[in-house]
């Protein structure tokens, strides 16, 4: 970044508040998201409720980049949100992988009305930051996630099933506790789905997942 010009978050926030067209709002939100400042969090969260998809995408990306500090604030805002804003919030939770939002992700992955929310929440379940959980809780949480993901492999939308394969792969690659049982359950389900699923893309992603899981297994032995 140019050292002579350090963006000032207050100016950027003001630009978001003053934007009087969709294009200006998008530019202002992108600029604010880019500074990755915790000062930007409340404004970015507000943008999720504006019913402007372009700006919301930029705000979601900004909040994910800021990461964990945005989570408590966002959890607090949820009650005031309409459906659309909640859906954007779920994407932030999925992208950050903070266990504080785990229950919301589990629920959204298995039962949200919108397939793109189920898709994002499902992927998020594979990328939870285990280091943020107390060690005593890790194993039962992983079990809970595995049960939900196995259920999501039966979703009616191909893209949600695709997401569940990516998440299961990630779980198999990162989970350490009781690994053998875990891997076996994941592999068994993936092979089953490979035989049952009519979608070429699903079969292809399962093949890739099995190759990746087996490569890791062989290097660990």
Partner 1 sequence: MYQEIEPSDSNTQEVLTLETAVDNLKQKEDLGKRYYAAWWLGKFRVTEEKAIDALLEALEDSENRSSDGGYPLRRNAAKALGKLGNTKVVPALIRCLDCDDYYVRESAAQALEMLGDKQAIAPLMKFLTLMVKDGELLSLAMETVEDKPHLREPYEAIIEALGTLNASEAIPFIETFLNHSFAKVQYAAARAMYQLTQDSEYGEILVRALEGDGLQLRRSALMDLGAIGYVKGGNAIAETLAENSLKLISLKGLLEYQVNQDSQSDITVSSTSHQLMDLMDTLL
Q: What residue ranges bind partner 1 (CB under 8 A)?
A: 53-54, 115-116, 119-120, 122-123, 158-159, 162-163, 166, 200-201, 203-205, 207-208, 211
Kindly calculate the radius of gyration of the chain based on its CA atoms and give it in whole angstroms: 19
Closer Cβ to partner 1, 130 or 158, answer by number = 158
Residue 122 beta carbon to partner 1: minimum distance, rounded to whole angstroms? 8
C-alpha torsion 205→210→211→215, nearest 10: 140
Strands (E), the chain: none
What is the spatial distance between Cα 37 and Cα 156, in angstroms, rounded to a whole number? Answer: 39
Closer Cβ to partner 1, 146 or 210, answer by number = 210
Closer Cβ to partner 1, 86 or 123, answer by number = 123
Q: Please say whether the beta carbons of 93 and 124 come within 8 A.
A: yes
What is the spatial distance between Cα 138 and Cα 118, in angstroms, rounded to a whole number? Answer: 23
Residue 79 beta carbon to partner 1: minimum distance, rounded to whole angstroms? 27
Residue 108 beta carbon to partner 1: minimum distance, rounded to whole angstroms? 13
Closer Cβ to partner 1, 13 or 91, answer by number = 91
């Amino acid at each position: 970044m140019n050292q002579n010009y350090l963006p000032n978050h207050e100016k950027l926030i003001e630009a978001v508040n003053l934007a009087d067209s969709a294009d200006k709002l998008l530019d202002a939100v992108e600029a604010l998201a880019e500074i990755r400042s915790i000062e930007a969090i409340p404004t970015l969260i507000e943008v999720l409720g504006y019913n402007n998809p372009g700006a919301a995408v930029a705000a979601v990306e900004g909040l994910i980049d800021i990461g964990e500090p945005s989570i408590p604030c966002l959890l607090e805002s949820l009650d005031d949100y309409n459906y659309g804003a909640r859906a954007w919030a779920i994407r932030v939770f999925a992208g950050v992988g903070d266990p504080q939002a785990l229950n919301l992700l589990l629920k959204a992955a298995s039962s949200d009305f919108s397939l793109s929310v189920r898709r994002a929440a499902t992927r998020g379940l594979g990328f939870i930051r285990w280091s943020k959980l107390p060690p005593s809780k890790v194993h039962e949480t992983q079990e809970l996630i595995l049960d939900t993901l196995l259920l999501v492999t039966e979703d009616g939308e191909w893209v949600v099933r695709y997401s569940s394969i990516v998440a299961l792969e990630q779980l198999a690659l990162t989970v350490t506790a009781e690994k053998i049982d875990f891997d076996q359950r994941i592999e068994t389900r993936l092979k089953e789905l490979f035989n049952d699923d009519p979608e070429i893309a699903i079969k292809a992603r399962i093949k890739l997942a099995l190759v990746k899981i087996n490569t890791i297994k062989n290097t660990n032995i």
